[in-house]
Structure 1
């Protein structure tokens, strides 16, 4: 499976979903019954997108701003939400994390798509067999997020990096002054 095929599957599920949870359920429904090798291939493309493309400090900063804080798990769940928005939003946000200001509702609550992160294994007939079929890529994963690490509580730096998001969500930044960034 390549990225274009992955996004075709995601977009077809998106067309049947009303929200992020519905999106994850629609994806599981789509994937259910696929051969194990195809589920593994889907999961591998998803992990590549999450770990190699999106695991970046600037995106983590955006998650921190819009969610009023973001632990490592919280950042992962944000990326699940972002993936559920479809390829166009995914690519636009990776190109410019501040572009989320165009689509995110300040009063919309946390952007959390945890269920999106486990759709392939949820669709597998035998989850244990699914995990056993995954190639061991642990040694090839990035050691940490790409880019320069900085303190998310540095409001001036956050405003320079994400001017539109911080303007829209300035109250959340002020309230989250004690949250962890890692």
Structure 2
């Protein structure tokens, strides 16, 4: 991580949200260091803009909170993507940046194009380093921690979001059609490229 550099965030609109998130990736590839960088920088802006960041982050979940995407994540994780696992996968995908987030949202099989996904191919999940896992649960806590730091009160961002009429949810809530992501036939039909990149090591139904 480069020291001595700052970024000025005057407003956290949706464009600045993505720029800010992507700037953290330019600073460092280490997930923990990215979190530190984001928390420190967010702590320098107004509480209103910190809340903006959280709203944009949660809004970015909606297009990828689908059974279609869950099945794709499940394929990458060799059939071991639980509800919690998918919930943590979503901020990881958002953290890849707007281009890749949008590309995957268009078609979950497009995850096969993401450099971070391709880097996992050819190895089973048990061989992945902790930093390689497609999970980034902690991104969801960056804005709340920065908000608490400024206000000196724990969970203080919740009141601000409630005042905006913003609904926060904490588990996947897909609304598209559920499908059997353990069916080989459906996997090959829906996720042909991911199926080639990540052939399932455990039993799947024919």
TM-score range, shorter chain: 0.7 to 0.9
Q: Which whole-Å CA distance do the structure 2 matches of 1:11 and 1:35 have between them?
A: 20
Report matched runs for 1:1-182 at 5 Å.
1-50=12-61, 52-68=62-78, 69-102=80-113, 103=115, 104=117, 105-106=120-121, 107=123, 109=128, 110-124=133-147, 125=149, 126-135=153-162, 136-138=165-167, 144-172=173-201, 174=202
Change (3 A) 1:137 1:7: same
Higher relative contact order (CA 8 A, sep 6+): 1
Q: Is the 8 A contact 2:39 2:146 kept in 1?
A: yes
In angstroms, what is the RMSD of aligned CA positions?
Answer: 2.5
- Superimposed CA distance per residue, residues 103-160 of structure 1 (whole angstroms, 9 cap, x where no aligned partner): 2122273311111121101222133222221124349999931321112111211111
TM-aligned CA deviation for residue 91 of structure 1: 1.0
Q: Which whole-Å CA distance do the structure 2 matches of 1:54 and 1:116 have between them?
A: 16
Q: Which whole-Å CA distance do the structure 1 matches of 2:187 and 2:31 have between them?
A: 27
In the alignment, structure 1 segments of 5+ residues that lack a partner are none
TM-score computed with the length of structure 1 as normaliser: 0.84
- Superimposed CA distance per residue, residues 37-75 of structure 1 (whole angstroms, 9 cap, x where no aligned partner): 11111101111111x222111111111111222111111
Q: Which whole-Å CA distance do the structure 1 matches of 2:29 and 2:66 have between them?
A: 28
2:4 alignment partner in structure 1: none
Change (3 A) 1:161 1:80: same
More helix by share: 1
TM-score computed with the length of structure 2 as normaliser: 0.75
